[in-house]
């Protein structure tokens, strides 16, 4: 069994996003507080890796992401990125949301992508050149003049990805970004994301409840225990060569192994 | 309303190259326009039949009588004077009221402390009809234009303000979170997210307020004016000049319809990307 503290010998060199003993509970007025959603949550993500956080729905995956994005503050414990404590939202951590309601519907796709650079004061010509470049990267060349309402679900998620990349963050926090897409579109976007990640070598924390998705994408998969008081139980290193397919040798075995682990956490809780 | 709705959709499609579907849509729209016109004509005919069959013209004037009186009043320039002054009061009050209400509503929606400070006044005064203020306002500001405009400002303010607050409350939290992640300061987020995201609600509030402004101007002119459509309607009752009252009614309805359609046109033309209006 792998321990919660992963690869201690490698930590000193490559620690990037670190959660130490984090707990978080939602406040309730009047009633006694329910047990915390997260407790003793430890996680170390190394620079440049693609990390998937996998867990059953309702276990607190999104809470983890909201803490790392700085939308929420932990009740206990510390969160650091590249050695600096996380105290609120910042341009070093970009979030890709599951829902496309995070897009600015009154702006064209290209203006959405140029939004971050605009906020940080980049001049007009440079930020539109940049936005065009990133739209091309996510295969949306020529679609920049459309408003989000005129784009399909898959295209909207591509705009979201281009928008965060244009801001050159240190890490991408992705919260089930393909969860609401149809199977074909999802598969395509998974491939495209791996492709983009291969080119950019950004660190990615990707949240999903889909085992196959995690295996297709991740260098390492952290499996969360069932909430409340959830934490990362097992960490699996995915050794499969890229590009990966569902039919790749070893894929099925890995799927079964992870599925057994998730089922195991269910029995633990009962 | 359905005619206007379809027009909006047509505007949204107008970038697309002409296709058989689009041609069919256009043909259908023409059909709807025809229906719209037929509905108006039918109503006038019905009015004529009922008025001439069952009533004396002094009691219920038909369209012919009203039209003749209208022509007379146009020739004497009397009608345009009434229309002009009422419209002026409405528009000034409406725009001043919206200009006051939208920023306050945005701030109330965005900043909790501002909301707490303004909330009691909003919730109290929005139940006090503007006309209840007429006498004190006339006492304080005189019988001139200022009083009438102030009454319209008052009416407009609360409707636009509450709609604006609803608009801010309806902004998807992910939009503001995304803006924060992308480096927007709270002030930038206010101007680049909160304001554009709530614009459809502000504009809807303004359209509603426009309707109330018409109602209010008539009440105000009935009580404290010697010009305007409200005055025309109320003064004509002294001589049982029902035809003149009908002229006032028709003018109010037509003006309301035209200003609303114009407002809608402006929204579709310049702000359609901000989101649907109703």
**pLDDT of A38:** 86
Largest CA distance in chain A: 59
Q: Which residue among A137, A168, A199 closes a domain?
A: A168
A73 assigned to some structural domain:
yes
Give the pLDDT mean for A124-135. 94
Are residues A263 and A193 both part of a single domain?
yes
Query: Cα angle at A63 between A57 and A69, to 5 degrees?
Result: 135
| Selected residue with higher pLDDT from B197 and A14 | B197
pLDDT band at residue B240 using 50, 70 and 90 as cut-offs: confident
**pLDDT of A68:** 93
Q: Distance, in angstroms, between B14 CA and closest chain A CA?
A: 13
CA distances from A88 to A93, A121, A167, B188 (A): 10, 20, 17, 16
Of B143, B144, B127, B145, the residue nearest B135 (C-alpha): B143
**pLDDT of A10:** 43
DSSP β-bridge partners for residue A235? A222
Using one digit for the tens of pLDDT, what is the confidence trace for A134-168?
Answer: 999 999 999 999 999 899 999 999 999 999 999 99
Are residues A125 and A254 both part of a single domain?
no
Full residue range of the structural domain in which residue A174 is found: 8-92+170-269
Give the pLDDT mean for B138-163. 92
Are residues A164 and A178 both part of a single domain?
no
pLDDT band at residue B120 using 50, 70 and 90 as cut-offs: very high
Interstrand relation of A84-85 and A76-81 (parallel, antiparallel or unpaired): antiparallel
Are residues A180 and A79 both part of a single domain?
yes
**pLDDT of A32:** 72
A118 assigned to some structural domain:
yes
**pLDDT of B258:** 92
**pLDDT of B239:** 85
Asked if the Cβ–Cβ distance from B182 to A167 is below 8 Å, we say yes
Q: What's the distance, Cα to Cα, between the start and end of chain B in Å?
A: 10
Give the pLDDT mean for A178-204. 90
In terms of Cβ atoms closer than 10 Å to its own Cβ (0-12, 13-18, 19+), residue A196 is buried
ipTM for the complex shown: 0.87
pLDDT at B23 over 60: yes
CA distances from A135 to A156, A185, A188 (A): 11, 17, 16
Sheet containing A171-175: order of strands? A93-96, A171-175, A203-208, A50-54, A220-224, A232-237
Contact B243, B158 (CB under 8 A): no
B196 interaction partners in chain A (CB closer than 8 Å): 104, 106-107
For chain A, what percent of residues have pLDDT higher than 70?
A: 92
Using one digit for the tens of pLDDT, what is the confidence trace for B58-116?
Answer: 889 999 999 999 999 999 999 999 999 999 999 999 999 999 999 999 999 999 999 99
In terms of Cβ atoms closer than 10 Å to its own Cβ (0-12, 13-18, 19+), residue A30 is exposed
pLDDT at A6 over 70: no
A247 assigned to some structural domain:
yes
Q: Does A244 touch chain B (CB under 8 A)?
A: no
Q: Does A157 touch chain B (CB under 8 A)?
A: no
A67 interaction partners in chain B (CB closer than 8 Å): none
Are residues A60 and A183 both part of a single domain?
yes
Using one digit for the tens of pLDDT, what is the confidence trace for B127-149?
Answer: 999 989 988 999 999 888 899 99
Are residues A75 and A152 both part of a single domain?
no
pLDDT band at residue B9 using 50, 70 and 90 as cut-offs: very low
A85 assigned to some structural domain:
yes
Q: Give Cα B216 distance to the centre of its chain.
A: 11
Are residues A25 and A156 both part of a single domain?
no
B274 interaction partners in chain A (CB closer than 8 Å): 105-106
Are residues A247 and A212 both part of a single domain?
yes
Q: B85 CB contacts (<8 Å, ≥6 apart)?
A: B227, B228
Are residues A137 and A252 both part of a single domain?
no
pTM for the whole thing? 0.81
**Which helix (H) or strand (E) covers residue A42, if one does?**
strand A38-46
**Which helix (H) or strand (E) covers residue A259, if one does?**
helix A251-269
For A146, name the nearest residue in chain B, comparing CA atoms only: B273
How many domains does chain A contain in total?
Answer: 2
**pLDDT of A109:** 95
C-alpha A50/C-alpha A176 separation (Å) is 14
Query: Following CA atoms B185, B187, B193, B198 in sequence, which dihedral angle do they give, to the nearest 10 degrees?
Result: 160
B179 interaction partners in chain A (CB closer than 8 Å): 115, 119
C-alpha A211/C-alpha A167 separation (Å) is 30
Query: Following CA atoms A190, A194, A195, A200 in sequence, which dihedral angle do they give, to the nearest 10 degrees?
Result: 130
Handedness of CA B95, B97, B226, B218 (dihedral sign): positive
Are residues A73 and A190 both part of a single domain?
yes
Are residues A176 and A251 both part of a single domain?
yes
A99 assigned to some structural domain:
no
Q: Does A120 touch chain B (CB under 8 A)?
A: yes
Radius of gyration of chain A (CA): 19
Give the pLDDT mean for A181-190. 91
Q: Which residue among A141, A168, A195 closes a domain?
A: A168
A3 assigned to some structural domain:
no
pLDDT band at residue B56 using 50, 70 and 90 as cut-offs: confident
A244 assigned to some structural domain:
yes
Tokens 């926090």, residue?
A173
For position A203, which CATH number holds?
3.40.50.300
Q: Is A139 helix (H, G, I), strand (E, B) or coil?
A: coil
User: Half-sphere exposure of residue A258, counting CA atoms within 13 Å on the CB side?
Assistant: 27
C-alpha B241/C-alpha B249 separation (Å) is 13
For chain B, what percent of residues have pLDDT higher than 70?
A: 89
DSSP β-bridge partners for residue A232? A224
Of A270, A204, A211, A223, the residue nearest A41 (C-alpha): A223
Q: B146 CB contacts (<8 Å, ≥6 apart)?
A: none
Mean pLDDT of chain B: 87
Asked if the Cβ–Cβ distance from B181 to A93 is below 8 Å, we say yes
Q: How many residues does chain B have?
A: 278
For B176, name the nearest residue in chain A, comparing CA atoms only: A102
Largest CA distance in chain B: 73
CA distances from A187 to A160, A179, A181, A194, B59 (A): 17, 11, 9, 11, 75
**pLDDT of A27:** 75
DSSP annotation string for A181-192 = S-HHHHHHHHHH
C-alpha A27/C-alpha A5 separation (Å) is 29
User: Half-sphere exposure of residue B63, counting CA atoms within 13 Å on the CB side?
Assistant: 11
pLDDT at B272 over 80: no
Are residues A35 and A61 both part of a single domain?
yes
C-alpha B150/C-alpha B97 separation (Å) is 9
C-alpha B261/C-alpha B253 separation (Å) is 12
B193 interaction partners in chain A (CB closer than 8 Å): 104
Using one digit for the tens of pLDDT, what is the confidence trace for B175-202?
Answer: 999 999 999 999 999 999 999 999 989 9
Helix runs in chain B, H state only: 2-13, 20-54, 63-75, 78-110, 112-125, 134-141, 145-169, 173-181, 186-189, 195-223, 229-236, 242-271
pLDDT band at residue A228 using 50, 70 and 90 as cut-offs: confident
**pLDDT of B28:** 66
Least confident of A112-121, A213-222, B4-13: B4-13
pLDDT band at residue B47 using 50, 70 and 90 as cut-offs: very high
Mutate to test the interface with A, among B183, B186, B275 (most CBs of A within 10 A): B183
Q: Which residue among A168, A195, A216 closes a domain?
A: A168
CA distances from A152 to A176, B117, B238 (A): 17, 43, 64
A97 assigned to some structural domain:
no
pLDDT at A269 over 70: no
């Amino acid at each position: 069994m792998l321990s919660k503290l992963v690869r201690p010998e490698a930590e000193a060199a490559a620690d990037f996003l670190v959660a130490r003993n984090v707990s978080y509970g939602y406040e309730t007025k009047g009633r006694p507080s329910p047990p915390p959603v997260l407790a003793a949550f430890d996680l170390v993500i190394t620079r440049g890796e693609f990390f998937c956080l996998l867990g059953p729905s309702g276990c607190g995956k999104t809470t983890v992401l909201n803490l790392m994005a700085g939308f929420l503050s932990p009740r206990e414990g510390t969160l650091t990125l590249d050695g600096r404590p996380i105290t609120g939202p910042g341009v070093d951590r970009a979030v890709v949301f599951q829902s496309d309601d995070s897009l600015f519907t009154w702006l064209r796709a290209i203006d959405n992508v140029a939004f971050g650079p605009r906020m940080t004061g980049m001049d007009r010509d440079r930020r539109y050149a940049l936005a065009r470049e990133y739209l091309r990267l996510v295969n949306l060349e020529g679609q920049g003049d459309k408003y989000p309402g005129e784009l399909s679900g898959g295209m909207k998620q591509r705009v979201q990805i281009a928008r965060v990349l244009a801001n050159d963050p240190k890490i991408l926090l992705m919260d089930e970004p393909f969860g609401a897409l149809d199977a074909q579109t999802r598969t395509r976007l998974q491939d495209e994301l791996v492709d983009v990640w291969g080119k950019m070598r950004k660190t990615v924390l990707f949240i999903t409840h889909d085992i196959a998705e995690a295996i297709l994408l991740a260098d390492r998969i952290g499996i969360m225990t069932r909430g409340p008081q959830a934490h990362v139980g097992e960490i699996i290193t995915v050794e499969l060569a890229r590009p990966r397919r569902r039919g790749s040798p070893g894929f099925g075995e890995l799927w079964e192994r992870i599925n057994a682990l998730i089922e195991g956490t269910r029995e633990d809780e009962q | 309303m359905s005619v206007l709705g379809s027009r909006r959709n047509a505007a949204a499609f107008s970038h697309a190259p002409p296709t058989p579907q689009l041609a069919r849509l256009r043909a259908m729209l023409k059909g709807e326009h025809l229906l719209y016109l037929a509905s108006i004509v039918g109503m006038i005919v019905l009015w004529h039949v009922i008025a001439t069959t069952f009533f004396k013209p002094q009691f219920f004037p038909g369209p012919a009588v009203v039209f003749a009186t209208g022509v007379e009043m146009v020739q004497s320039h009397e009608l345009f004077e009434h229309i002009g002054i009422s419209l002026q009061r409405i528009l000034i009050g409406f725009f001043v009221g919206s200009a006051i209400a939208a920023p306050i509503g945005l701030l109330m929606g965005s900043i909790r402390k501002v909301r707490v400070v303004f909330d009691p006044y909003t919730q109290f005064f929005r139940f006090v009809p503007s006309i209840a203020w007429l006498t004190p306002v006339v006492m304080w500001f005189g019988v001139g234009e200022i009083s009438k405009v102030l009454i319209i400002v008052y009416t407009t303010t609360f409707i636009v303000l509450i709609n604006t607050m609803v608009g801010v409350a309806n902004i998807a939290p992910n939009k503001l979170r995304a803006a924060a992640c992308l480096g927007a300061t709270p002030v930038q987020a206010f101007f680049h997210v909160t304001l554009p995201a709530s614009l459809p609600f502000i504009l809807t509030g303004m359209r509603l307020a426009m309707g109330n402004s018409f109602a209010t101007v008539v009440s105000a002119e009935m009580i404290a004016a010697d010009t305007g459509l409200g005055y025309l309607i109320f003064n004509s009752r002294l001589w049982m000049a029902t035809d003149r009252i009908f002229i006032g009614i028709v003018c109010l309805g037509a003006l309301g319809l035209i200003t609303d359609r114009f407002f809608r046109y402006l929204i579709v033309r310049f702000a359609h990307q901000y989101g649907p209006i109703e």
